[in-house]
Amino acid sequence: MPQSISKYKLYLYFFFLIFLSSIFNFQILDNYHDKFRLKNININGLPYNEKKNIQIELNKLKNINIFYLKKDKVLEKLTNFNFLENIYINKVIPSSINVNISKTTVLGKTIINGKKFYIGKNGNFINPNLLTEENNLPSVYGDFQIDEYLSLIKKLKKHDIDIGNIKEYYYYKNKRWDLLFLNNITLKLPSKKDEESIKIFKKLLKNNDLINIKIIDLRVTNQIILSNKND
């Protein structure tokens, strides 16, 4: 008659069997989680100098399970880069995301508290260190709100004024603008009904009667003051 196995040995066999199978299952689980950890973050749409700091910030998301990674989490990492305008995020299973980005149009430069800033079409004052250097930008002077400047730009474009020909903008406390053009003509706009004055200026340009004119003063309603002398 074969020797019977003691209960102690039987329990021991079962213990080792369960232990080994658990190790095997844990290895499978670890391999599964590792497969879906974020490893690659591809940023498209920006030159290297503008995306390198973004890459560093987004790399902090690596090793998060891609299924748990929410779009808001990625956008949160991009909040400090206020020159961005359009952001599209796509997950690529198992371990990558593509971040397609476009930057805002820069419409000018200004000085705030002694520091230089770019003026973005997206309504932000942008640290110039975040962008490749922008050339041939108009300078904007005065204590203006950015939406006031963007509103003026919109009106000028609406009436086909080439803003590329404007080299300086001056904003005054009474909420009006002076525009200095590349041909050294200064346009003085009123604080109210400035769009009507822009229309008048457009008509004057079409008439080609501005030879030797240095100042076009439209500050007073129903008056056009032309001067061949600078103030």
Q: What is the mean pLDDT of residues 122-133?
A: 94
Q: What is the mean pLDDT of residues 145-170?
A: 96
Q: What is the mean pLDDT of residues 103-113?
A: 96
Residue 62 lies in a domain: no
pLDDT recorded at residue 147? 96
Strand partners, 177: 171
Please write the tens of the pLDDT for every residue from 52-102.
999 999 999 999 999 899 999 999 999 989 999 999 999 999 999 999 999
Return the higher-pLDDT residue of 187 and 14.
Answer: 187
pLDDT recorded at residue 160? 94
Residue 96 lies in a domain: no
Please, are residues 143 and 172 in contact by the beta-carbon 8 Å criterion? no
Q: What angle in degrees, to the nearest 10, is found between the helix axes of 194-207 and 146-158?
A: 40
Q: Is the pLDDT at 137 greater than 50, yes or no? A: yes
Residue 22 lies in a domain: no
Q: How many domains does the chain have?
A: 1
Please write the tens of the pLDDT for every residue from 172-222.
999 999 999 999 999 999 999 899 999 999 998 887 667 788 999 999 988
Q: Is the pLDDT at 13 greater than 70, yes or no? A: no
Please, are residues 77 and 59 in contact by the beta-carbon 8 Å criterion? no
Distance set, CA 82 to CA 22, 49, 90, 100, 125 (Å): 50, 15, 21, 15, 8
pLDDT recorded at residue 118? 97
Residue 142 lies in a domain: yes
CA distance 15 to 84: 59
pLDDT recorded at residue 6? 63
CA distance 169 to 108: 9
Residue 194 lies in a domain: yes
CA distance 60 to 26: 26
The maximal CA–CA distance of the chain, rounded, in angstroms, is 127
Residue 3 lies in a domain: no
Which stretches does DSSP call E strand in the chain? 40-44, 84-92, 96-103, 106-112, 115-120, 125-126, 139-141, 166-171, 177-181, 186-188, 215-217, 225-227
pLDDT recorded at residue 122? 96
What CATH number does residue 146 fall under? 3.40.50.11690
- Give the number of other CB atoms < 10 A from CB of residue 125: 15
Helix (H, G, I), strand (E, B) or coil at 43: strand
Please write the tens of the pLDDT for every residue from 46-55.
999 999 999 9
Residue 223 lies in a domain: yes
CA distance 189 to 218: 5
CA distance 171 to 150: 13
Encoded tokens for 104 = 């805002």
Return the higher-pLDDT residue of 231 and 98.
Answer: 98
Q: What is the mean pLDDT of residues 121-146?
A: 94
Residue 156 has φ and ψ, to the nearest 5°, of: -60, -45
pLDDT recorded at residue 148? 97
> 143 falls in which pLDDT band (50, 70, 90)?
very high
Domain span at residue 149 reads: 138-227
Please write the tens of the pLDDT for every residue from 21-30.
554 454 544 5
Residue 176 lies in a domain: yes
CA distance 86 to 224: 43
Helix (H, G, I), strand (E, B) or coil at 206: helix
pLDDT recorded at residue 216? 94
